[in-house]
């Protein structure tokens, strides 16, 4: 688990090193956002005033959800910028910068995330608190068509993010660093991340849950008690509050991107027949990946049944979030489904069970194929 204390959060935002739909908010952000208490040069803590951007945000910002690459990127200068509009004149940014060390003759990466404020002229601006250990500011100028971003910075950054960035794709997949930054944009009424309650530490996971959520937990420093738990989508499309004593609830964004998402699943391959490359070694074609629905439905007794047998439909949703499921058999002479998702085989043949899953404001349609036969084709096991 990764962790850092809330009072050091701005320091964490400054530099992170790595190894090589409709509803916006269930709770309206409180005027005015942004950073948590940060460490100063003297070691004291400071809580900067929250501030929001312009009320009249240009359309190219309001619809922003994209990845950009710096025009001068090269093998040892590969730089990516991700931008996602949040609300109230604020947008999330994450730089993935690459630098080169001549002394070590090696490249290194740096992540710089944060929440920028959009001013009345349509420019984005981010600034650390004045007493931060490494104070800096970054300006973002977005073109009218949203296809390029000009970036300039002032202050102490190990790798400069300056340059022109061009649009790559309408998608973001941020690091856990940005997952923490978005929490600072949300109102404390929704997150409970209030330093007045006591010093706390935010723990980050080393891996995603179901390849979709970052599981983030805030704990009090003195007692170790949990302050709050969150699931944060890797594309920043939604944030769920998932404390142990409450039913999970979405506090930001929309669940629809999760319901629509496909992920690439690794497919196990067999050795290529007759392609031995050495004694006891077979040649493989290499790993292959296939797109799979992130949200799915399983039938616990499998897709093949005999008349009179039954099985239960269960939705598979990242983070075990609460949901409702309704289902209908397209051929009730083959199988029926009751209101609890129990499927009963009635007659021989094939049919499809059409399922509708609802999670918060998100809806997914999933089809489950069924085959009902008089006898299942198990292999006969003969005694030796």
pLDDT in tens, 218-265: 999 999 999 999 999 999 999 999 999 999 999 999 999 999 999 887
What are the residue boundaries of the structural domains of the chain, listed by start? 2-253, 262-293, 296-372
| Residue 284 reports pLDDT greater than 70 | no
| Residue 277 reports pLDDT greater than 60 | no
Q: pLDDT tens across 151-196, in order?
A: 999 998 889 999 999 999 999 998 888 887 888 889 899 999 988 8
Using the structure block, give the residue that is written with the tokens 């240009």: 58
Mean pLDDT (the chain, rounded): 81
219's CB contacts (< 8 A; 6+ apart) are: 200, 201, 203, 225, 226, 227
| Residue 138 reports pLDDT greater than 80 | yes
Contact 134, 152 (CB under 8 A): no
Short-list 205, 28, 18, CA closest to 95: 18
d(CA 205, CA 122): 35
Among residues of the chain, what percentage have pLDDT more than 90? Answer: 55
Short-list 132, 144, 133, 126, CA closest to 61: 144
How would residue 49 be classed by pLDDT, with cut points 50, 70 and 90?
Answer: very low
Domain boundaries 296-372, CATH class? mainly beta
Report, as an integer, the average pLDDT of 91-116: 83
Both tokens of residue 264?
């690439």
Angle 40-44-46 (CA atoms, 0-180°, nearest 5)? Answer: 70
d(CA 202, CA 213): 16
Short-list 125, 117, 182, CA closest to 150: 125
For the chain, count helices (H), then strands (E): 5, 29
Q: How far apart are the first and last CA of the chain?
A: 52
Global pTM reads 0.75
Both tokens of residue 87?
């609300």
How would residue 272 be classed by pLDDT, with cut points 50, 70 and 90?
Answer: low
Both tokens of residue 3?
């962790």
């Amino acid at each position: 688990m990764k962790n850092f204390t809330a009072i050091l959060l701005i320091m964490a935002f400054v530099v992170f090193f790595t190894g090589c739909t409709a509803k916006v908010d269930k709770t309206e952000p409180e005027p005015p956002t942004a950073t948590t208490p940060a460490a100063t040069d003297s070691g004291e803590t400071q809580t900067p005033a929250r501030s929001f951007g312009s009320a009249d945000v240009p359309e190219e910002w309001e619809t922003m959800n994209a990845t950009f690459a710096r025009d001068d990127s090269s093998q040892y200068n590969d730089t990516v910028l991700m931008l996602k509009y949040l609300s109230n004149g604020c947008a999330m940014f994450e730089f993935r910068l690459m630098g080169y060390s001549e002394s070590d003759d090696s490249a290194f990466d740096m992540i710089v995330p944060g929440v920028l404020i959009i001013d009345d002229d349509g420019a984005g601006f981010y600034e650390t608190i004045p007493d931060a250990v490494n104070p800096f500011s970054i300006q973002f100028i977005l073109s009218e068509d949203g296809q390029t971003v000009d970036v300039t910075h002032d202050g102490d950054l190990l790798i400069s993010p300056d340059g022109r960035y061009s649009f790559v794709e309408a998608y973001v997949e941020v690091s856990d660093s940005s997952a923490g930054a978005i929490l600072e944009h949300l109102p404390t009424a929704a997150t409970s991340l209030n330093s007045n309650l006591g010093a706390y530490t935010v723990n980050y996971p080393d891996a995603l849950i179901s390849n979709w959520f970052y599981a983030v937990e805030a704990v009090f420093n003195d007692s170790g008690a949990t302050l709050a738990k969150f699931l944060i989508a890797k594309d920043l499309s939604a944030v769920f509050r998932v404390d142990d004593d409450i039913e999970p609830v979405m506090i930001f964004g929309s669940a629809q991107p999760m319901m629509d998402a496909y992920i690439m699943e690794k497919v196990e391959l067999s050795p290529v027949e007759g392609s031995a490359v050495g004694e006891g070694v077979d040649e493989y074609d290499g790993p292959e990946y296939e797109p799979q629905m992130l949200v799915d439905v399983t039938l616990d007794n499998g897709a093949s049944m005999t008349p009179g047998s039954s099985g239960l439909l269960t939705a598979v949703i990242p983070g075990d979030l609460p949901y409702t499921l309704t289902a209908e058999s397209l051929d009730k002479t083959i199988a029926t489904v009751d209101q609890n998702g129990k499927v009963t085989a009635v007659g021989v043949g094939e049919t499809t069970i059409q399922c509708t899953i609802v999670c918060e404001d998100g809806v997914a349609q999933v089809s489950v194929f069924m085959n009902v036969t008089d006898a299942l084709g198990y292999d006969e096991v003969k005694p030796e």
